[in-house]
A and B are shown apart, each in its own frame.
Chain A
């Protein structure tokens, strides 16, 4: 069942490449404004300096440190962690250690998450139906579920606030500190830290899975109550814990494989010209792979839910198609609309 659901989910993902392309473009667009801002600041700082030569051809760490010292705000994020696989270590570590994002980055994350809240309705509708729905159908579903998922997002915000502020505090500020304050052997302290990470990451995984299934149920069953969707999602997970965990683990393995591949091929600082663009292309391939994995989580969850309830390809709400203008109907050979759902 789990393997079949996973393969089914993968099939649904691959049959809708426009979704992958779309979220990739969204990810690019979300990052571009701040990237352009930083580029402007860097160019202004370098001005006509000869320091730009080394900065272009390799790493000019002297200039780098001068720039960050003189560029508060966005410039403070220009650290060595932007190079290669350190990006991933930094972002995952930052999440698990609850590093506070500076305001511009927090805004970018907020806008990006809002975009996903909008897109999830269309994405899950498409995966649930397992067939093409067309742009109009996609965005109609996105619009239909946007405010519902916004409400769900508010609930998620409260839950995540509780996790990141309260639970993280208990785990890392209270229990971890109490457990390790008298330990003088680093590997032992690290094991405690690892345990706390596993517990915290496990809770994050659990909560994100609940919200994933809540979205799936909301879309498939055209639910309007997001609390009802959450309860239904929990009910499903409680009734099928083995399947849910196994599917999550399967996707988790894929995620780790992507990270391993990225750790192997992640480009260094590089230079300009072709090496720069090869590096950018490699990074964007990694971004694409991460997005595919994220979508795979959702598509396979949809497939698992449908298979568990023998509802493959079922969605309660009718597919939405654009109503053509009357003149189009009149011009058709049959004199009326013969088009099925997109």
Chain B
């Protein structure tokens, strides 16, 4: 009730609009299906190459004609050391030079465009017109975006067919794609058309800190792999047949999805289980497990089912009838990644049962089926809209689905886990408060995500969003926020929302304009820090006491908060402060001494970077706590000393 009063102090308007004029669902499907792919691809296991050809049926759903096509060739990020991806990785602190056999690349060998259902003339190969562009940073060495001029413009609502042939060198794992041993994971592996918006092409280069963006369509893919290799892929398996040279052809089809990933290995152990729920549709869960993790089958299924259940109940049902869970091979660097109807989880050989590995990552990636898969936000520019919203949702699901969930640390090269049963993993721990606290002012969230500083981008994308959504949940109440998010999910499924669309949905749900809140948490990079500066109580006559409470805004960001002062006789005084001034002084006179004063005692503001200074008591126990923890620490120091003395 208090919070509602606070929130009503903000008022201002906002609008939201689609970035593509003709983004309505096609007659046959749930999405516009304006970028559909028929792909034939062959894996050469011995040479570590892919050879593919694709036919893209692309419809211009923007409001403007285009005389150019733009494609992502993501694997060219590992073609040379000066790609934008590798430059940014170095900026982020990873200066490791890839080994000679680690590089990957994509080479387009032919492009033909067909219009009006007519075959493309053979001499109309556009390959010679191909050139690479770098719209984000002008990096001439970056070849991750390919532009192809068209002989004539493609009008709005016009459909063309593009035939592309290419070969690719498979990298050792980068960015969740590549090979190790006989395990392969293929993400962003085919030439993929960019997104044409009303404002023009939205085709970003591959950046080390951000992910992807593409239109919805139908993917019909035939994958040829050596016999004995198990395949998992987006969509559903249609059939398996024999190919040339003793190979096997796996046919998959996925509808109303905006990407297609696949994996193959002869070591996968395949398991299936059905997700069933009283009100949600059935979903076949297919798990491709590493043999050494055979005992963790139930944990993967339970976590996936938890995501399908809670996200389904909160936001809307999972719209597909299948999902594939890939347990990635060790050292494959492909764990914890989402693709439509398929995701990679990640676990360890030694995985204690009361620790959320593999559960947390499984729930997170399964959750991306909703926030990324169904609601197709632009991950280059607004990564918080999938990662941040999903981080919040995952932490919420973890809280109800995973108990107990204790902190774990790993020793001896990360192989040996030790569970700390004194430390339960709290929701704010899952929401990354510890990381956000350090990086709070690194970037304004409204900055395009690919421009975030590489080493701190995750704190702004994932954690800040999760924390401000948690703050919204506490201020508006979960039923209100849940309805707002469900409405947003329903309104923007199979489309590309922008930040204003989410803000509008929240304002609609709250029944008031939330712009001032988003001005603070989204458009600014200021940190929140409120605290009690002074608490003084003194006698002023017989049986009377005067208590002075000074509260202060230490940070630059502003949020309305409560101040509660408690007295020795058990009485309480609650004040509401708009939090704008630097400090506020409250003076009370009464028959009792003060015991303590607290700013934001209910901890509504989850973004407060220093909660220790939020309270003061006149009966402090800091000395007791410090003695306890310093003596505990002394045991650790003595152990270190003893370990070294064994050498001399």
Residues of A that sit less than 8 Å from B by CB: 27-28, 30-32, 34-36, 38-40, 42-43, 45-53, 55-56, 58-63, 65-67, 69-70, 77-83, 85-97, 101, 105, 108-109, 112-113, 116-117, 120, 153, 156, 160, 180-187, 189-190, 193, 197, 204, 207-208, 211, 268-272, 276, 279-280, 283-284, 286-287, 290-291, 294
Contacts and interface: CB of A to CB of B under 8 A. Distances in A.
A48 B635 contact: no
B210 to A, nearest CB: 26
B641 A112 contact: yes
A31 B329 CA distance: 44
B622 A62 contact: no
A181 to B, nearest CB: 8
Q: Which 8 A-B pairs have the closest CB atoms?
A: A39-B630, A46-B622, A184-B329, A93-B411, A42-B626, A283-B635, A55-B625, A43-B626
Given A27-B638, A108-B641, A193-B415, A49 B622 contact: yes
Contacts of A117: 648
A186 B616 CA distance: 50
A31 B412 contact: no
Given A51-B611, A82-B635, 5 more contacts: A43-B623, A69-B438, A113-B644, A185-B290, A268-B421
A35 to B, nearest CB: 4
Nearest to A276: B628
B622 A52 contact: yes
B562 to A, nearest CB: 15
Given A38-B633, A185-B290, A269 B422 contact: yes
B625 A95 contact: no
25 contacts: A46-B626, A48-B618, A48-B622, A49-B620, A56-B628, A61-B423, A65-B434, A79-B409, A83-B420, A83-B632, A91-B636, A93-B412, A94-B643, A95-B643, A105-B637, A109-B640, A116-B645, A183-B331, A184-B332, A185-B267, A185-B330, A186-B330, A189-B330, A189-B331, A284-B635
Given A109-B644, A184-B332, A66 B180 contact: no
A183 B180 CA distance: 7
Contacts of A105: 637, 640
Given A35-B630, A49-B612, A86 B409 contact: yes
B644 A95 contact: yes
A77 B636 contact: yes
- Tell me which of A46, A58, A208 has the highest count of chain B C-beta atoms within 10 A of its own C-beta: A46
Interface stretch (B112-120, B425-433, B455-463, B541-549): B425-433
Contacts of B628: 55-56, 270-272, 276
Interface in B312-353: 329-332, 348-349
Contacts of B487: none
A156 B648 contact: yes
B294 interface: no
A34 B637 contact: yes
A66 B531 CA distance: 14
B47 interface: no
B374 to A, nearest CB: 32
B437 interface: yes
Nearest to B417: A89
A284 B611 CA distance: 34
A50 B648 contact: no
B596 interface: yes
Interface in B516-570: 535
Contact of B630 (A42, A53, A286): A42
Contacts of A32: 634
A35 B644 contact: no
A197 B535 CA distance: 55
Nearest to A280: B631
Contact of B412 (A61, A62, A193, A290): A193
Contact of B634 (A31, A81, A211): A31
A85 B418 contact: yes
Given A31-B638, A287-B635, A59 B416 contact: no
A293 to B, nearest CB: 9
A87 B639 contact: yes
Contacts of B646: 208, 294
B412 A197 contact: yes
Contacts of A187: 292, 349
Contacts of A69: 434, 437-438
B181 interface: yes
A52 B647 CA distance: 39
B488 interface: no
Given A77-B633, A82-B636, A89-B411, A47 B330 contact: no
A186 B621 contact: no
A157 to B, nearest CB: 9
Contact of A51 (B182, B428, B612, B624): B612
B613 interface: yes
A67 B612 CA distance: 9
B615 interface: yes
B620 A52 contact: yes
Contacts of A208: 646-648
A156 B645 CA distance: 12
Given A42-B625, A85-B418, A91 B643 contact: yes
A80 B631 contact: no
B648 A116 contact: yes
B648 A113 contact: yes
A96 B412 contact: yes
Nearest to B182: A184
B438 A56 contact: no
A278 to B, nearest CB: 12
Nearest to B407: A80
Nearest to B631: A280
A43 B330 contact: no
B152 interface: no
Contacts of B416: 89, 93
Contact of A46 (B434, B614, B620): B620
Given A49-B617, A55-B625, A208-B646, A35 B637 contact: yes
Given A48-B620, A52-B621, A92-B643, A276 B631 contact: yes
B629 A42 contact: yes
A31 B637 contact: yes
A47 B622 contact: yes
B642 interface: yes
B348 A186 contact: yes
B422 A59 contact: yes
Interface in B180-221: 180-183
B349 A82 contact: no
A95 B626 CA distance: 28
Interface in B580-623: 596, 598, 610-618, 620-623
Contact of A78 (B348, B411, B633, B641): B633
A271 B628 CA distance: 8
B633 A290 contact: no
A87 B615 CA distance: 32
Contacts of A67: 612
